[in-house]
Amino acid sequence: MRKYLSFFRIRFLAGLQYRAAAWAGIATQFAWGGMSILMYRAFYQSGQSAFPMEFSQLSSYIWMQQAFLAMFMVWFYDNEIFDHITSGSIAYELCRPCDLYSMWFVKNMAIRLSRVVLRCAPILLVAALLPAPYGVTLPASLEAALLFPISMLLGFLVMVAFSMLVYISAFYTISPNGVRILVTSVLEFLAGGVLPIPFFPDWLRPVMYALPFASMQNTPYLIYVGHFAAGDALGGMVMQLFWVIALVLMGKGWMNRALKKVVVQGG
């Protein structure tokens, strides 16, 4: 366990060095979050149909999405891992006295968390100062406040566990770019990153909630804003735990099969 904590610490501290990029990201996320809220406001003011979330809930959802974007951004992957696989330098990784899957897992957690640490506080602080209903509010209830951090952790683990499958797929392809583009396009849509899942048609929502993508960012944010009642929140968290276990087991099994067949060429 100590070696994995060391990998986590090294990667986390390395991620904290990119402060200029963090400030640029904060500015971008403010602009994107503001434009998204104003776009939705125009639809809400039209009054032509009923909406599944109150506008204040939607505003909090969007600001939480921007504040913790680094934890759940589906387009971010560690290029160093792909380089290890495609260049053959994974041979050096296999010489380490540790489990390769666990090492990559903690490295991915560290780099994402380091970016969140740099970005989330300024975004939440400014969003909290915005006038209602455009800003972020406190959790909808005491239950939401207690369940939200647990759900966030589970959603984060689902995200990292799924991204591990993308890394492992590089063992079977000439280039990982095709898989990355396909997964990013599908996952961003199905995880509630483009449109919160409550806005999807009634017949489609049960399917989306059953998939692992909804267990990433969608579930914790809906718990936070109070869209999920206590029973629904617990059910969503059980689904998150199921997908964490399932994806980790799937990833470890697939990794073991890939490493049995990997061939490193060169001299």
Q: Residue 150 is which amino acid? A: I
Could you tell me the sign of the dihedral formed by the alpha carbons of 66, 68, 70, 71, in that order?
negative
Residues 6+ apart with CB under 8 A from 139: 145, 148, 224, 226
Give the start-to-end residue ranges of the domains of the chain.
2-261
pLDDT confidence of residue 44: 87
User: Two tokens at 68?
Assistant: 């913790």
Per-residue pLDDT tens, the chain, 267 aa: give them.
777 888 788 888 887 887 777 788 888 888 888 899 999 998 888 876 678 889 999 999 999 999 998 899 888 888 888 888 887 778 777 777 788 898 899 989 998 998 888 888 889 998 999 988 899 999 988 998 999 999 999 999 999 999 999 999 888 887 788 888 888 888 888 888 888 999 998 899 999 999 999 999 899 999 999 888 878 899 999 999 999 999 999 999 999 888 887 766 554
pLDDT confidence of residue 264: 62
* Separation CA 101–CA 10 (nearest Å): 17
Residue (of 147, 158, 153) closest to 215 by Cα position: 158
Whether pTM exceeds 0.75: yes
**Count of other CB atoms within 10 angstroms of residue 195:** 10
Q: Is the peptide bond before 139 cis (omega within 30 degrees of 0)?
A: no
* Separation CA 3–CA 177 (nearest Å): 31
pLDDT confidence of residue 177: 82
Mind spelling out the 3-state secondary structure of 97-145?
CCCHHHHHHHHHHHHHHHHHHHHHHHHHHHHHHCCCCCCCCCCCCHHHH
Residues 6+ apart with CB under 8 A from 123: 26, 29, 30, 33, 63, 66, 67
Could you tell me the sign of the dihedral formed by the alpha carbons of 246, 252, 257, 258, in that order?
positive
- 175 backbone φψ class: left, alpha, beta (φ>0; ψ -120 to 50): beta
pLDDT confidence of residue 221: 94
**Is the Cβ–Cβ distance between 233 and 147 less than 8 Å?**
yes
The C-alpha R_g of the chain, in whole angstroms, comes to 20
Residues 6+ apart with CB under 8 A from 72: 65, 155, 156, 159, 191, 193, 216, 217
* Separation CA 33–CA 187 (nearest Å): 20
pLDDT confidence of residue 99: 85
pLDDT confidence of residue 267: 42
